[in-house]
Amino acid sequence: MGNAPLPIRDGLGPDRIRMPADLDVKTVAEFLALQYPDEAASWHAMIERGEIVDEHARVVDAQTRYAPTRFLYFYRDPAPEIPVPFELEVLHHDDELLVVDKPHFLATIPRGAHITETAVVRLRKQFDLPELTPAHRLDRMTAGVLVFVIQRRHRRAYQELFVDRQVAKEYRAVARHDPNLTFPRTVRSRIVKEHGVMTATEDPGEPNSETRIDLVDTRSDRGLYHLEPRTGRTHQLRLHMCSLGIPIEGDNYYPEFSRSIPGDFSTPLQLLASAVEFTDPLSGRARRFESERFLHW
């Protein structure tokens, strides 16, 4: 969506629809009414107001010809969301990067039911930075250091650092203390995440994930752990801790999945992205950003 013909509005980019190649229709208006009959009146009103454009930012009207395989762009008002009652704290802000301390329960980017209550939308609006894009992502339930790229022309340089594993990441987690486990230790496993399935699994086969885990401190039967992921598989840290028999406190995915109650912010996952460190691809300088948040410890 980086080359969308409509600008960011209220922190959100436009939606888009691809026109299929196998429909026998003559106009865009006919296509929309056929494909979305329940919204026919709404589409007609949007066309009347000139609110739908094609890939070249040309306004669609009632006579615009259907163009198979091409895209239509428009804004859709998101549904009301329950506000996440925690703030993003700024750790660093310069011409290239905006680094924040993300709270628990706030998603990184719009997805599913979380659209406006996301870090990127909040920050775009707060700082008037329409091109702002995350260099990486944190799970909605994970708090901590999150790096954003301010200008579109710099996105690839920073995002490739994370893709190519040139970023050292550190996490803290709270879980049960098992005196029978020795630390530090390295956990390796094969993690598989199927599309549409909420949880990932550890399956037999060649490992594709690796985490170094150390025990920092203990209090009664609880432990504070330092985690260093060497790979970035979905739910990797949560699965690796669970595989040791010490699932992270507040985890509603592992070992058993249970749906969270909308609007319940009382039990955050005790997982914190405590630091990221890398060599800046533009300046060559060493960069290290550390979270100022604390777990319930």
**Residues 143-159: tens digit of each pLDDT:** 999 999 999 999 999 99
Whole-angstrom distance, CA of residue 159 vs CA of residue 169 = 14
Q: What is the pLDDT of residue 2?
A: 54
- Domain containing 230 equals 89-290
**Residues 197-237: tens digit of each pLDDT:** 999 999 999 999 999 999 999 999 999 999 999 999 999 99
Global pTM? 0.91
Q: Does 261 have pLDDT greater than 70?
A: yes
Contact 113, 81 (CB under 8 A): yes
pLDDT class of 297 with cuts at 50, 70, 90: confident
CA 49 and chain centroid, separation? 33
Q: Same structural domain for residues 48 and 24?
A: yes
Q: 184: which 2 tokens? A: 């530090």
Number of Cβ within 10 Å of residue 76's Cβ equals 11
Is there a catalytic annotation at residue 139? yes
Mean pLDDT of 50-78: 96
User: The CATH number of the domain where 253 resides is what?
Assistant: 3.30.2350.10
Specify the number of domains making up the chain.
2
pLDDT class of 179 with cuts at 50, 70, 90: very high
Identity of the amino acid at 5: P
Q: Same structural domain for residues 130 and 253?
A: yes
Mean pLDDT of 86-93: 98
Whole-angstrom distance, CA of residue 273 vs CA of residue 100 = 11
Selecting among 22, 95, 139, 164, the annotated active-site residue is: 139
Which of 74, 108, 124 finishes a domain?
74
Q: What is the pLDDT of residue 73?
A: 98
Q: 233: which 2 tokens? A: 């598989």
